[in-house]
Structure 1
Amino acid sequence: MKKQILALLGVACAALLSSCQQTSSLGAYDAYNRPATKPTNPSNVRVKVSTNNQMAYVMEGNKALLVMPLSVGTAATPTPKGNFTIYSKQEYRRAQTHGYFDHGKGRYTGGYLRNKPAGTKFIGTPMPYWTEFKSGYGFHTGWMKPHPCTHGCLRMHHNVAPKFFALVKEGTPLNISSSQPEDATIGRNIPRPPDATPLPNFPHSYLVTDKIYKRHKVPKFVAK
């Protein structure tokens, strides 16, 4: 009996430690942020993305308004390269092909729309601060990792995404290349957010609400 009690205590302690580690890791992830400055002339803003450095540079002339780490597409599903123009912005965007199925009574499952169970309501995966530059491709908030991990979109940290969203507009030019000159200067040694890989995803019941769009810190800009 004594051995059983000790064993149960050991399991409980391990679970508690794991929970604390997850909470601590999520706290470190949520604490991440990057400084940003508003432009003098919004019409002069342009964006440059380096896929090798996984970095975005929001520029006004030679001045960097925001230097922001990204997660980019994998080799199998690469981020498109070239010159683009941002043409659509949606703060409350949801995916149209994958998400969650509402079965009623607080029960949700996830999957692709093409596999939607009969009698359920489809709610797309949240993609906050969607900024589209090519059909099906855009910047948006998402879990970030230190290596290419997306289907081609450019994921931003949730605390930095609203700053990027405020700095760009429909019509802002964008260049995506393997590298940018800024990689060797302002893009060097930029701290990245902790790897989101070990963090648990949020419950479906939370992701189907609009609360997910406002979990970021209030965006503040550096004085000019």
Structure 2
Amino acid sequence: MSQLVIPQAVRLALLSAFALLASCQNSSDRGQTQYLEAFASTSVPHSAMYSADQDSYWDGDNIPGAPSIIIDISDQKAYFYKGGTLAGVSALSTGDERHATKTGTFKVMEKDQWHKSNLYGDFVDGAGNVVVANIDVTKDKAPPGTRFEGSKMHHFMRFVGGIGMHEGFLPGYPASHGCVRMPPHMAAIFYNNVTKGTPVTVRP
């Protein structure tokens, strides 16, 4: 009977996935926040990734009219309209039970293509290597010789308070601290097609 051989890359991915799951269950340690707001797809094991691209599309390049966005929390999708015509749909991950995304009618207040969080991220050394990952600066203390590096929230479109749409990790369910995470390519498309003042409706 032949023995099953698991490639080294697969073994590493599985070990990383187990480590990620373990850290999520150990939230009492050092004030961990399990903040997955803006993890790059390459930093999350493929087995833990949610394939959002099957739900997301864009057909709006040749559609005229003013932009508007409807964020639907119940189906975890954002609907982009131009002049009342549906131009595209993006999969989402909105706020979790403890950090619900605020519902209501808003407008895009700010656009920041290379936005970084000022609360959540990593402690890194002088060379930029991560020493402590996934921290909350209001709870976690920087080890000696490290500095805070905020989580990347690229293509940030603020629409109420500190909440906005931006690229981030989508696990397939509401999991953010209130922001609206989108697949990177869809965040870029939405960003390039909105202006300050674009109406944003968030419905339950």
- Following superposition, the deviation at residue 104 of structure 1 comes to 2.6
The residue matched to 1:149 in structure 2 has which SS?
A: coil
The answer to whether 1:134 aligns with 2:160 is: yes
Letter in 1 for 2:112: Q
- Structure 2 Cα separation of the partners of residues 23 and 148 of structure 1: 19
Aligned-CA RMSD value = 2.9
**Equivalence for 1:208:** none
Equivalent pairs counted in the alignment come to 168
Alignment of 1:3-82 (within 5 A): 13=6, 15-18=8-11, 29=51, 34-38=57-61, 39-41=63-65, 44-82=66-104
The residue matched to 1:148 in structure 2 has which SS?
A: coil
User: Unaligned regions of 5+ residues in structure 1, if any?
Assistant: 1-5, 179-224
Distance 1:176 1:119, change over 3 A: same
Contact 2:49 2:170 in 1 (8 A): no
Distance 1:98 1:59, change over 3 A: same
**Equivalence for 1:173:** 199
Contact 1:94 1:127 in 2 (8 A): yes
Distance 1:97 1:171, change over 3 A: same
User: Unaligned regions of 5+ residues in structure 2, if any?
Assistant: 15-43
Distance 1:106 1:85, change over 3 A: closer
The residue matched to 1:159 in structure 2 has which SS?
A: helix
- Structure 2 Cα separation of the partners of residues 60 and 14 of structure 1: 48
The answer to whether 1:146 aligns with 2:157 is: no
- Structure 2 Cα separation of the partners of residues 28 and 153 of structure 1: 18
- Output the TM-score relative to the length of structure 1: 0.65
- Following superposition, the deviation at residue 15 of structure 1 comes to 4.2
- Structure 2 Cα separation of the partners of residues 171 and 90 of structure 1: 14
Identity, in percent, stands at 24
Distance 1:28 1:50, change over 3 A: closer
**What per-residue deviation string (whole Å, max 9, x for no partner) do you get for residues 110-159 of structure 1?**
22224223432221111111110011101011111222111111110112
Based on CA coordinates, which of the two structures has the bigger radius of gyration? 1
- Structure 1 Cα separation of the partners of residues 13 and 91 of structure 2: 27
**What per-residue deviation string (whole Å, max 9, x for no partner) do you get for residues 163-217 of structure 1?**
1111111110111111xxxxxxxxxxxxxxxxxxxxxxxxxxxxxxxxxxxxxxx
Contact 1:102 1:121 in 2 (8 A): yes
**Equivalence for 1:95:** 117
